[in-house]
Structure 1
C-alpha cells in the first residue's frame, strides 16, 4: 500500500491507498512527537508501506520525514497537485493527501527528500540566521538615510556627507532632550540613535555568524569552498541545495538541472535549439552567477574564454550561462569528493 501526507504547521493529514488505487482511510495527526508516532503506527496498521509521499519535506514535513526515516519507512517528495486536479476535484487536506498517495502510486515526478540531519543542515541554519541579520541591518541603514532626508535642517547639516560607519557613529552619539520629545528635532534624534544602534548590533551579529559559517563550510567541504569564485556564502548555498544526501542526485547533469543552469531542448522539426532554464533552485543559480562574475574579474582563463566567445558572436548573457554550466560541473566533482570524505 501507499501513503500520502499533506503537511501543515500544526497538523498533518494522511491518506492510505492500496496498490490498485483504492482509498482505505484518511486521518489527521498533530505535528508533535506523539503525533508522528501515532501516524507511523496508523500507517503500519494497514500493512507495510511501499513508500510514503510527503508534500513539503524541507518545510512543514521536515520533522515527519526524519521520524519516518528513523523507523525505516521510505519517504519521497511529491509535487503539489496540479491546477487541473484542483479545478475538477477541489482542494482540502484529505483531497491533497489522497493526491499525494496517488502520485506515489503513479511514480509521478517523485524525488528523494533531503535528510536534514547532518552538517549541511547546520550550515543551512547558520546561513538563514546570517541572511536575516544582513537584511535587517540593511533595512535599518536605509531607514536612517531616509529619515535624514526629512530631518530638520540643523540635523541634516550635521549628518550630511558622512560614510556609512561615520554616519552610524554620529547617530549613536546624538544627545536628544528626552523631556522635549514633542520637538521634531529631538524625536528625530531619538529615532536615528535607535536605528543606528540596531544596525550596528545587527552587523556585529552578521559578522559573528559569518565566522561560524566560514569555519563550518571549510571543514565540511574544503574542496568546494576552495574553488575560485566561491566564498563561504555562495558555497553554503550550493551545499544547501544538494543537502546531506548527495546520492539523491544521480549525475552531474541532474545537479546542473537542479541549479537551473542546464539548457532545455526547444527543438521542432528541422529546427534544433535550446532555451534558458528558468527553473531550479534560484539561490544556487545566483551563487553560480556570482562565482562566474568573480572569475571573469580575476581569472585569466575565464577572461580568455569570454573573449573567444565574444569573437564568435556570443552575447555576455550567453557567455555567463555557458560558464555557469561549466562551473556546475566543476562544483559537482568537488562536492562528490567532499561528501565522500565525510562518510569515510
Structure 2
C-alpha cells in the first residue's frame, strides 16, 4: 500500500508518497487549482493501492478532498496536533512542505481510527465504471 500525504496551502499543494514502512517514494507540488488537481489525479495513477492523507485544514482542502473522493480515492484526515511529534522524529531536520507532507503520510500509517471518507460501495463502483468507460472512449 502507498500512502500519500498532502501539505496544503492557499496557492499550492505538496504531496509525498511513502511505502508501507514510511520510506519516501515520490514528491509532487502543484497549484491549488483545478489544473493542479487534475495533475494530482494523474500522478496518483502510478500507485496500485493508494490511501490519501490530508492535514485537517478544511478551509484549504475542501475542493481537493471532493475531487479525490470523486476520483474514487479514500481520504484520511490527520489532525494537526498529531503532526508535531512526527516532524520531530522525522529523518530530515527542519520544516518544509515535503517534510510536512511526509509527516502527514507517516501519521496516517501509524494511527488507527483517523476520520476517513470514501464514496460508498455502489456510488463508488458506478463512478469508477463511468470514468473507465470515459477513458476507453478518449
Matched with 2:84 is 82
Counterpart pick for 2:100 among 96, 100, 108? 96
Question: CA separation of 1:103/1:87 partners in 2, compared to 1, >3 Å: closer, same or farther?
Answer: closer
* Larger RCO (CA under 8 A, 6+ residues apart): 2
Consecutive aligned runs of 4 or more in structure 1 exceeding 4 Å deviation: none
1:112 matched residue in structure 2: 116
Partner of 2:29: 28
**Which has the larger helix fraction?**
1
Q: Provide the TM-score with structure 1 as the length reference.
A: 0.31
Equivalent runs, 1:208-247 vs 2, <5 Å: none
Q: Distance in 1 between matches of 2:37 and 2:74?
A: 15
Structure 1 gap segments, 5+ residues each: 116-344
Cα distance in 2 between the residues matched to 1:20 and 1:48: 14
Asked whether the 8 Å contact 1:5–1:13 carries over to 2, the reply is yes
Q: List aligned pairs for 1:14-163, cutoff 5 A.
A: 14-49=15-50, 51-80=51-80, 81-82=83-84, 85-86=87-88, 89-107=93-111, 110-112=114-116
- The answer for the alignment partner of 2:129 in structure 1 is none
**For residues 86 and 68 of structure 2, what CA distance do their matches in structure 1 show?**
31
With the length of structure 2 as denominator, give the TM-score of the two structures. 0.73
Q: Aligned pairs, how many? A: 113
User: For 1:91, what is the secondary structure of its paired residue?
Assistant: coil
The answer to whether structure 1 residue 2 and structure 2 residue 3 are counterparts is yes
Q: How has the CA–CA distance of structure 1 residues 91 and 76 changed in structure 2, closer, same or farther, with 3 Å as cutoff?
A: same
1:298-328 alpha-carbon deviations (Å, 9 max, x no partner): xxxxxxxxxxxxxxxxxxxxxxxxxxxxxxx
Secondary structure of 2:45's aligned partner: helix
Larger radius of gyration: 1
Q: CA deviation at 1:29?
A: 0.9
Give the superposition deviation at 1:36: 0.4
Q: Is the 8 A contact 1:16 1:43 kept in 2?
A: no
Structure with the higher fraction of residues in strand conformation: 2
Structure 2 runs not aligned, ≥5 long: 120-138
Once residues 58 and 38 of structure 1 are traced to their aligned partners in structure 2, the CA distance between those partners, rounded to angstroms, is 20
Q: Is the 8 A contact 2:77 2:116 kept in 1?
A: yes
C-alpha contact 2:10 2:60 (8 A) present in aligned 1: yes
